[in-house]
Structure formats: structure tokens, C-alpha cells
Structure 1
């Protein structure tokens, strides 16, 4: 399995899904009120987690290279989907805050850098998802 591959497995327990990437494992699930066991994060929250963690890592990496005193990055994410007759549009909101000795210019630059994280780029461009039986 390479870095771009994930193995997802579900068995007898409704909605409880094991996600394997290399030697790392996550559990995805749905809340009990939706029939799940509430043993893990639901798929939409996993998507937001991917965006948030990528932005945080990208910003921290940039600040470290610049030797800026960025102590902590906090990102609060949410989404809303609006449907029309022709399409649906999903709005993802990312509210970033930085802790450390940073001036406004540095904070503004870090916000620009967050917009350049790999997951943001993937989701901001056309995506084609193909599914097949193997």
C-alpha cells in the first residue's frame, strides 16, 4: 500500500468502519441515533479533519522554516450544503487562530499559506471519483 492508498473495511457492526493507512488505523462510525455505535468520527467530520490537519501542518511547517514564534494553530471547521434544482454547493468554513509572538503581517501570511495546503488544493479543483469492482 502506498501513501495514496487507504483500505476501508466494514463488517457485521452497522456503520463501524476501520480505516487503515500503512501501520495506522482509524475508526469511522455514525452516532447511535443514526444506527451506529458512535465509536469513531463520522465521514463528514473526517473530511473536515483532513482539511484542518493539512492546513495546520502546512502553516506550522512554513512558520518553522521562517523561524517565526508560532506556538499553536487552532482551526475550527464547519460545513453547510445548499441544494438547488441543478446542483448542490457545499460551503466549508475554516476559522484559524494563531498563538505566539506574531505581528498582523505574519498572521495574514500564515492565512495565505493555509489556503495552499495540499488538501485545500485537491478540494478546490475538479475531482473525478471512479468506483469499480475488483
Structure 2
């Protein structure tokens, strides 16, 4: 079997859209906003995709600045997802805004922008994916 790089399990027991998520020892909730029929008890699934990308970029940048021993206080990444039918390209588009506070010159900032694009989730989402779905008992 190929190496699994991430895993999650989601369970809904009838509470409208509110869904319990288990990731290793962590318990999370997913839901939909009230205007989408949910009760807003947790982020929507699309928000979790943005969360994965934003946090991966922050972690990748922090690893890099630590290795370089650059003086960086805060690394913040905001990610917005726009569906393809709203974009001229027709592609789903992630807009990522990186904000870094610290003692950095322009060349260091330019390098960090490039490093942010090298995070594993950025690479993963930039390539075509395949989704294989099976039904238990079939």
C-alpha cells in the first residue's frame, strides 16, 4: 500500500450538518453556516482546506527562518478560496496573503515569498488530484 501522508475521519449522527472529525488524537467539528442550512458549530469543509494551506505555509516559513536564524516575530497567512465559476480562468483559486513582521530586507522578503510557495500543501493543491471513493459492504 502507498504511504499515507494525512488522514481524517468524519462522522455525522443526524445533527443536521454538524460533523465530528477525528484526526489522530484530535477532535474537531465541521458544519455549514446558518445561511447554508447548518448551525455554524464549526468551520465549513472548504474552510478546512484553506486552514490546511494557510497553516502549512506558516509552518514552512517558520522552519525556514529558524534555519536561517532570521529575526522574525510573526508570520501570518490569510487564504481565501474562490470557486472556479467565479473566476475568468474557470479554475478554483486560492488567494494567499503573507504578512511577516521582523527584521527583514527586501531580498529576504522575496525569498520568503518563494519559500511559501514550496510548502507541501501548496504543491499538493497545485497538481491534479484523484479521489477514490468506495462504499463499505459493496
How far is 1:77 from its partner?
1.4
Q: Aligned to 2:38, which of 36, 39, 53?
A: 36
Match of residue 93 from structure 2:
91
- What is the Cα-based RMSD across aligned positions, in Å? 1.7
Match of residue 23 from structure 1:
25
TM-score, with length taken from structure 1? 0.91
How far is 1:104 from its partner?
0.9
The unaligned stretches of length 5 or more in structure 1 are: none
Cα deviation 1:32-91 (Å, max 9, x = unaligned):
22221111001111111100000000001100011001111111211222339xx94111
The unaligned stretches of length 5 or more in structure 2 are: none
Q: Give the structure with the higher percent strand.
A: 1
How far is 1:3 from its partner?
5.5
Match of residue 71 from structure 2:
69
Match of residue 6 from structure 2:
4
The ranges of structure 1 where at least 4 consecutive aligned residues each deviate by more than 6 angstroms after the TM superposition are none
Match of residue 105 from structure 1:
107
Distance, in Å, in 1 between the alignment partners of 2:128 and 2:83 is 18
State how many pairs are aligned.
131
